């Protein structure tokens, strides 16, 4: 429905007497009535004022009501407006053609005022109900889209969660195998993160996790993705990337985190990360094999003293 307080009804009829009768009848019921006498004017008016309902004659001097209705229904901006044909044509073929053009109802002249008012009320109510249903459906679709998006995201850090990362990684591995392209995986975690939680508390620890995750997310390519693997451990998926390039990226990320000052209510905190990198091998048919090798490389980095990156 329109934003007007009263429903707007466009009346299209080239006969002055009919136009006056309908205008007086509907205006007397509180409707906002807009009368016009030509089909071309009706089309322009419909696109400008967006009426809630159109009462449309068939025989007019410029273009007939059938053509007007067809144009209205072909335009996405006006296709939703219900059209009631009001005509002296009483043949079944005329009525059938009116409905085929997109009309919702047909009133034969000379019309009965009570019948016209009843049909107008009915179709305004139907249009209002349809608009409400469309709005509710739109809101539902938006809610479902938000829910689907949230189901893919780790609520704390804003990066992908583990399950969605697995879906993406499995898909990318299939592409890499099919086209014989390189694919790298990088796993990293925050060094001595337990000490951060023990010293500053879990809320500050959460802040550190978010800062590290978002710092990494801002520095990788659009084709790459980052997921939270668990706790303070994160994982990167790097399509079309070999281990040499992945090591360079991992080292750049390690330096960026090492130089990061995380401002908290308990002061600035600095952390480091350790990382493990691997790339797809010809025998790799499951993404778990790459993740396991990257995990082994990560633990090798920890054994080397942390704050470093190891590739395998």
For residue 55, the Cα-to-chain-centroid distance in whole angstroms is: 36
Q: Give me the catalytic one of 71, 172, 232, 279.
A: 232
Q: For the chain, what's the residue count?
A: 312
Helix or strand run (H / E) with residue 239: strand 233-239
In the numeric block, which tokens belong to residue 49?
Answer: 């004022």
- For 95-118, b/e burial (b = at least 16 CB within 10 A) is bebbeebbbbbbbeeebeeeebee
232 is catalytic: yes
- The span from the CA of 278 to the CA of 296, in Å, is 10
What separation in angstroms does the CA of 116 have from each of 11, 54, 307?
12, 12, 81
Sign of CA dihedral 230, 232, 233, 236: positive
For residue 61, the Cα-to-chain-centroid distance in whole angstroms is: 46
Radius of gyration over alpha carbons of the chain, in Å?
Answer: 34
On the CB side of 259, CA atoms within 13 Å amount to 7
- The span from the CA of 87 to the CA of 240, in Å, is 68
Sign of CA dihedral 256, 259, 264, 269: positive
Catalytic positions are 232
């Amino acid at each position: 429905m329109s934003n007007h307080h009263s429903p707007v009804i466009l009346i299209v009829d080239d006969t002055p007497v009919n136009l006056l009768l309908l205008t007086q009848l509907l205006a007397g019921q509180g409707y906002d009535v807009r009368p016009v006498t030509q089909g071309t004017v009706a089309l322009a008016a419909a696109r400008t004022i967006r009426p809630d309902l159109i009462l449309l004659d068939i025989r007019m001097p410029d273009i007939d009501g059938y053509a007007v209705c067809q144009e209205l229904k072909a335009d996405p901006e006006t296709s939703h407006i219900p059209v009631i044909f009001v005509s002296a044509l009483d043949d079944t073929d005329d009525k059938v053609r009116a409905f085929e053009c997109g009309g919702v109802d047909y009133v034969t002249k000379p019309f009965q005022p009570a019948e016209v008012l009843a049909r107008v009320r009915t179709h305004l109510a139907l249009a209002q109900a349809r608009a409400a249903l469309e709005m509710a459906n739109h809101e539902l679709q938006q809610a479902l889209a938000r829910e689907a998006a949230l189901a893919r995201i780790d609520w704390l850090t804003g990066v992908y969660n583990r399950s969605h990362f697995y879906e993406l990684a499995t898909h990318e591995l299939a592409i890499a195998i099919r086209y014989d392209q390189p694919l790298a995986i990088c796993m990293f975690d925050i060094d001595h993160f337990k000490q951060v939680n023990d010293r500053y508390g879990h809320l500050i620890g959460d802040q550190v996790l978010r800062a590290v995750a978002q710092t990494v997310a801002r520095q990788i390519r659009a084709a790459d993705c980052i997921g939270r693997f668990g706790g303070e451990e994160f994982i990167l998926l790097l399509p079309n990337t070999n281990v040499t390039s992945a090591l360079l990226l991992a080292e750049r990320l390690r330096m960026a985190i090492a130089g990061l000052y995380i401002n908290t209510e308990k002061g600035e905190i600095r952390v480091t990360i350790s990382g493990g990198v691997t790339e797809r091998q010809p025998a790799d048919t499951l993404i778990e094999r790459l993740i396991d090798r990257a995990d082994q490389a990560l633990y090798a980095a920890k054994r080397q003293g942390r704050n470093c990156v190891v590739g395998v």
